[in-house]
């Protein structure tokens, strides 16, 4: 038993002390393609994803009141309201997948029955990463 432990310790220390180096050589075309990919993604800081439409109404005061109460109940989902004629819309959250948005809608529907997931093609990446 002691001999086994001794051999394991010796071979283990030899394996740790030996340094192996791995060199990668990248083809020029792949390197150029990756740098172009980075340029494109830095130029377009938005992604397509999903938001939750909490409320849509023609009454601005109703949407502003819902904005205040929503921020109090669900601080984890940043929200904003906007106007697209003739409706004022209160939207919250930023999700990459529809399933993530639906999971959040289930929590929100207890207080806001009209909540539903909506597609948004211009979500800032920082919004998704901070969520």
Which range, of 40-49, 59-68, 71-80, 92-101, averages the lowest pLDDT?
Answer: 40-49
Residue 97 within a domain: yes
pLDDT, one tens digit per residue, over 106-118 is 999 999 999 999 9
Whole-prediction pTM value? 0.66
Please tell me the total count of domains within the chain: 1
CATH number at residue 105: 3.30.70.1070
Report the pLDDT averaged over residues 44-57. Answer: 92
Start-to-end Cα distance in the chain: 54
Pairwise CA distance, residues 7 & 86, whole Å? 80
Residue 16 within a domain: no
Contacts of 98 (CB under 8 A, 6+ apart): 50, 117
Q: Which domain holds residue 123?
A: 47-130
């Amino acid at each position: 038993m002691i001999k086994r432990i001794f051999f394991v310790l010796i071979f283990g220390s030899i394996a740790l002390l030996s340094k192996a180096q791995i060199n990668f050589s990248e083809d020029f075309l792949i390197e150029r393609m990756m740098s172009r990919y980075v340029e494109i993604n830095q130029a377009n800081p938005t992604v397509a994803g999903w938001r939750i439409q909490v409320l849509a109404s023609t009454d601005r005061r109703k949407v502003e009141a819902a904005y205040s109460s929503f921020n109090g109940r669900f601080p984890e989902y940043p929200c904003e309201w906007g106007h697209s004629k003739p409706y004022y819309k209160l939207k919250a959250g930023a999700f990459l997948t529809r399933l993530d948005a639906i999971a959040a809608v289930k929590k929100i529907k207890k207080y806001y029955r009209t909540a539903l997931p909506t597609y948004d093609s211009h979500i800032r990446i920082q919004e998704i990463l901070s969520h």
